[in-house]
Amino acid sequence: MEISRARHSLSGFGEIEWVDTPSFATLFSGFENEIGVQKLLLSREYDAICHVVDMRQLHRSIALFHQLTVLEKPMFVVISDRGENNGFWLDIDAMQRDLGVFILQANADAEHLNNPLKIMLAKGISTPACSLVVPRLEQQRTTLGTDWTPGKLVLACIETVPHPELPPPVIEIARNFAKNNQFLRNDLYFTDLSFQVASQQIQAWKRPNTTTLTAPLTLSQRVGLWAQQPLTGIPIVLGLLGLMYLFVGILGAQVLVDGMENWVFDPVLKSRNNLKLHEHMKWSDPWRLTDKMVEDARRTSGGYVDYRIVEKVEHDGFTTFRNGFTYTEEAFLEMWEKDRQKANKGMTSFQWLFEQFDLAARIKAKDVREIWLWGAPYMQWDELHWKTPGDRIPYPTDNPWFYRPYDIPDVGRTLWIMGWNYERGEGEMLESYCHRIESVLALTVGQGIWDHKRNGDNVWNRFTRVDKDFPGESEVGSVHFAPNSRSDYDWSNTNAVWTYADDWLTYPLLPRKKKWLNAQTGGWKGIVGHHLWWMQRLPRSAGVTDGFYNNWWQYIVNYDEALRKLPPPGATFQKAKHAMYAE
């Protein structure tokens, strides 16, 4: 994560410096890609913080605001809009009152513009009160001296947070207290607490978006608009920079960069004018589909997943199966054009793939976590494959389809291999990816049991409820079943049902508001429409609930790190007894 710095000379202020940081998940995490930003913030070597609130990730943004209050620095908030496009608007005045800081709204109405810089400087920047408190420690604070502030109290409790500036007596007292209160030593406790506070406040700030707002503009609205005007925008920005040494570009979504190799088996057909197989057959372009998958994952995860393709490989040939068979151009075309019943029944050998292309070395050298394979029908691989070190999984399961290692060599880390078919399109590609999501969530959040009768109260089993099984009480459903589906792949059903599907957009806050929806009104019509809609409702908030990340994408794309940082409750990590191993 790169941190950028810049200096400017501003009349009346002298030389000022600001620092722009990338987005990150939480001030308290130990994620390696966030350590630089966290060290900078915890150093307190700056004068003020500008906190950017993204309406697309409102809960996470406000939760991070409360985490930043433990730094006890002057703060200023910039918010993109009031949320009118989300079916509500936010009461900015109420937000300012509750947060205790000045809020600049960036898209205010274009009226009442006058003397923006003077007003901004006169307004000033305040230090918000520390939002995260431990009541029993707070009761002792006044007897422990002036160094014992609420923010320092929180940081002193957390073992993973460096705090060289804290007086040793403060650290010692906090740590001794935390010994008897283990939850205080866990950064996840304070992260979850910040999210709970944020959820309660956001509900109080929301106003129904039923009428046109005609009230006079607030100061924050006016300044927000001034900042966008050609003549006033630059002075406003420079004025802000003069007031602030540190600009923290936090929020929106955390970005996770995932090393991925893209392999395409696309033989050049010498007997067909040297066209590639997908070109001759007039099938989909695998490279374009790869780009589409990267885009779809980024969009549906709210920007959390950002795949980085570290290598693209196009192989002029066919794969070799575990039974030793390899198609030639002639044999494949004869089978395809004359009698597909004669297709070889074997399956691509991953052992061969690793040996032929020295994949283990590539994976290590390029920090690869995933391989995306593209090929033709009858190249014979599964839609998804994954291998964990030692074939260990968190919970035992009796469903072999959740874990599919086949004959993938053990590379000491979890490796995903997606198996796609360029005869098909975006919808089928997404379906394979969504089955991957189902598999890993069933083995983590679902605790190995995806069965509404055996594990009905589990949150994953609740998420996948459909009206067919729970009349009037459907949730989001599964990859094959939309909330109103009556059978597999019934994604365009026009019969409306009551569903809580949209509740999951704010998980763990579930307001329990039913909506009367069908494929058209609900937005899940068709294979592509449904799968994108389904992926968008996967929880992706900050914090932890019942021992599991509220952001389920952690398990989907950051599996090893997620389980290392937060082992699932009761997990045994035994070798999978029921799995798709190679015969």
Written as one string, the DSSP assignment of 38-99 is HHHHHHT-SS-EEEEEPGGGHHHHHHHHHHHGGG---EEEEES---GGGTEEE-HHHHHHHH
| Residue 204 clears pLDDT 90, i.e. is over it | no
The residue count of the chain comes to: 583
Find out whether the peptide bond into 508 is cis, omega within 30 degrees of 0.
Answer: yes
Q: How far apart are CA 206 and CA 95, in angstroms?
A: 10
Q: How high is the pLDDT of residue 55?
A: 75
Single out the residue of 367, 427, 404, 419 nearest to residue 262, CA to CA: 419
Provide the token pair at 551: 């952001």
pLDDT tens digit string along 275-326?
Answer: 999 999 999 999 999 999 999 998 899 888 989 888 899 999 999 999 999 9
Provide the token pair at 13: 């202020």
Choice among 174-178, 249-253, 463-467 with the minimum mean pLDDT:
249-253
Locate all alpha helices (DSSP H) within 111-218, ordered by sequence: 116-123, 135-141, 150-157, 168-179, 187-205
Q: How high is the pLDDT of residue 529?
A: 96
Q: How far apart are CA 492 and CA 524, in angstroms?
A: 7
Q: How high is the pLDDT of residue 147?
A: 63
The CA distances from residue 443 to 166, 188, 338, 449, 464, in Å, are 42, 22, 43, 7, 14
Q: 346-384 in b/e burial notation, b at 16+ Cβ within 10 A? A: bbbbbebbbeeeebbebbeeeebbbbbbbbbbbbbbbbb
pLDDT class of 32 with cuts at 50, 70, 90: low
Please report where in the chains the tokens 């001794």 appear, as a residue. 176
Backbone angles phi, psi at 540, to 5 degrees: -145, 30
- How many CB atoms are closer than 10 A to CB 13? 14
Q: How far apart are CA 157 and CA 399, in angstroms?
A: 42
pLDDT tens digit string along 522-540?
Answer: 999 999 999 999 999 999 9
Mean pLDDT across the chain: 81
pLDDT tens digit string along 330-379?
Answer: 999 999 999 999 999 999 999 999 999 999 999 998 889 999 999 999 99
Beta-ladder partners of 371: 261, 417
| Residue 118 clears pLDDT 60, i.e. is over it | no
Q: What is the mean pLDDT of residues 149-164?
A: 69
Contact in structure between 80 and 106 (CB atoms under 8 Å):
yes
Single out the residue of 462, 401, 438, 431 nearest to residue 529, CA to CA: 431
Q: How far apart are CA 240 and CA 163, in angstroms?
A: 29
Domain annotation for the chain: domains and CATH numbers: 4-128+190-248 (no CATH), 256-443 (3.40.390), 459-551 (no CATH)
